């Protein structure tokens, strides 16, 4: 029997393709975005304790109240902005499930959703599965600035949602306060929902402050924030995150969430509730990753790759236009097979696969791995 695909243009993600190629050729894998060092033993012990003390059955549908309260406390501390733990926060299976459920909750056939490219890869297929249409705004390399005039022209009566991501994967750029104010202005007095993907909120460099959507009251009133504990606490395999939004939006979200997954891993929630109480666990993260970025960039400063230091995330994009004319997918594959280092070509995230001759390298790696990576890159 033949079935008509609901996602005819979707293939295996580039992350899977490049990681598989890296494994096959025993290359250093700086492609997929995960750390190659351990999560804090304290947190692992807290999970073990939670399991041993019997938190092994379903969690409440929106998540453990203790964890929701810890998240509220974090918002108050960092942004002086509050979400009600009883009605405005839901714990999810990573940011991905939060994003899937938010889009599924609100996007209908003929709705348009604006995204900024290069964009994280789960947005577009999820919009398509729900019958929506993705409208792309291409950010301009190498700064990845936003053309707000273009955004303004693309907003119309069909615009249901705008998805933003700051700090941004894959470009490593961040939204400035002026960007958020533009967004606030453009969506004022509309019913447009903003999905703010803030999974890298704690990884921002050079003294910059993360511009969370919750800092802008008018925007906050129509927005979701999604976050990922996997990104924050070095355990992407646990797939834990959360969504928060004003009550009216969250009520609709929960209708979908309860039939999408109902609830997520209970013992990890109990552990995270405790672990989040010490703000050092997330406040020190920017410094930790800035040191990794700086080490990596200082080691490759004399290579033929050109770069502007990432402003946030644990990704650094490198421009290889002085090295070869090859398209970025071919070059990324060749580097993996012949030189033993895997990265992600940016064109797959761009509008019409625009090829700016840049590759993304993940620097959430041990210093040793970064040194080995630099040695290879310096020889190219």
Among the residues of 224-343, which ranges form H helices? 229-232, 247-260, 266-275, 280-283, 285-299, 328-334
Pattern 200-239, binding to ligand PLP, x per CB under 6 A?
----------------------------x-x-----x--x
End-to-end CA distance of the chain: 49
Nearer to ligand PLP among residue 241 and residue 267 (C-beta): 241
Q: Judged by CB under 6 A, how many residues of this single chain contact ligand PLP?
A: 14
Positive or negative, the CA dihedral 88, 92, 98, 104 is negative
Nearer to ligand PLP among residue 94 and residue 345 (C-beta): 94
Q: Give the CA distances from residue 89 to residues 85, 120, 163, 187, 202, in Å, rounded to whole numbers and listed in that order.
A: 6, 23, 19, 23, 19
CA angle 160–165–166, rounded 5-degree value = 140
Positive or negative, the CA dihedral 362, 365, 369, 375 is positive
Asked whether 265 and 51 are in contact (CB, 8 A), the reply is no
With binding defined as CB under 6 A, does residue 118 bind ligand PLP?
no
Q: Which of 18, 22, 30, 33 binds ligand PLP (CB under 6 A)?
A: 33
With binding defined as CB under 6 A, does residue 172 bind ligand PLP?
no
Q: Which of 118, 241, 267, 345 binds ligand PLP (CB under 6 A)?
A: 241
Compute the least distance from the CB of residue 54 to ligand PLP, in Å.
Answer: 26
Q: Give the CA distances from residue 231 to residues 158, 201, 335, in Å, rounded to whole numbers and listed in that order.
A: 33, 10, 26
With binding defined as CB under 6 A, does residue 165 bind ligand PLP?
yes
With binding defined as CB under 6 A, does residue 250 bind ligand PLP?
no
With H, G, I as helix, E, B as strand and everything else as coil, classify residue 60.
coil
CA angle 352–356–357, rounded 5-degree value = 125
Pattern 309-338, binding to ligand PLP, x per CB under 6 A?
------------------------------
Q: Which of 83, 120, 253, 307 binds ligand PLP (CB under 6 A)?
A: 120
With binding defined as CB under 6 A, does residue 95 bind ligand PLP?
yes
Residues at the interface with ligand PLP (CB under 6 A): 33, 94-96, 120, 165, 169, 197, 199, 228, 230, 236, 239, 241
């Amino acid at each position: 029997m033949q079935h008509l695909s609901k996602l005819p243009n979707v293939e295996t993600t580039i992350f899977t393709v490049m990681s598989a190629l890296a494994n096959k050729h025993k290359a250093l894998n700086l492609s997929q975005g995960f750390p190659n060092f351990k999560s804090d033993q304290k947190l692992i012990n807290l999970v073990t304790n939670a399991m041993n003390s019997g938190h092994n059955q379903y969690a409440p549908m929106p998540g453990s109240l203790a964890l929701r309260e810890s998240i509220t406390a974090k918002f108050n501390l960092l942004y002086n902005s509050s979400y009600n733990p009883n009605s405005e926060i839901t714990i999810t299976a990573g940011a991905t499930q939060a994003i899937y459920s938010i889009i599924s909750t609100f996007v209908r056939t003929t709705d348009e959703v604006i995204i900024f490219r290069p964009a994280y890869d789960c947005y577009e297929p999820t919009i398509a599965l729900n019958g929506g249409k993705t409208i792309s705004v291409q950010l301009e390399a190498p700064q990845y600035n936003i053309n707000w005039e273009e955004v303004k022209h693309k907003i119309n009566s069909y615009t249901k949602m705008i998805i933003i991501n700051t700090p941004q994967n894959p470009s490593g750029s961040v939204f400035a306060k002026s960007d958020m104010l533009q967004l606030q202005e453009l969506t004022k007095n509309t019913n447009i929902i903003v999905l703010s993907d803030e999974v890298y909120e704690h990884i921002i460099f050079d003294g910059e402050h993360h511009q969370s959507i919750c800092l802008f009251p008018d925007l906050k009133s129509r927005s979701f924030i999604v976050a990922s504990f996997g990104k924050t606490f070095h355990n992407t395999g646990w797939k834990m995150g959360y969504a928060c939004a004003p009550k009216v939006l969250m009520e609709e979200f929960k209708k979908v969430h309860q039939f999408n997954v109902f609830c997520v891993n209970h013992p990890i929630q109990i552990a995270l509730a405790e672990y989040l109480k010490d703000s050092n666990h997330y406040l020190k993260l920017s410094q930790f990753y800035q040191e990794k970025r700086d080490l990596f960039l200082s080691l490759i400063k004399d290579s033929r790759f050109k770069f502007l230091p990432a402003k946030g995330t644990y990704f650094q994009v490198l421009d290889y236009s002085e090295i070869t004319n090859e398209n970025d997918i071919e070059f990324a594959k060749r580097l993996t097979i012949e030189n033993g280092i895997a990265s992600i070509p940016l064109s797959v995230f761009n509008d019409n696969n625009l090829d700016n001759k840049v590759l993304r390298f993940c620097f959430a790696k041990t210093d040793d791995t970064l040194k080995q990576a630099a040695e290879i890159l310096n020889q190219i």
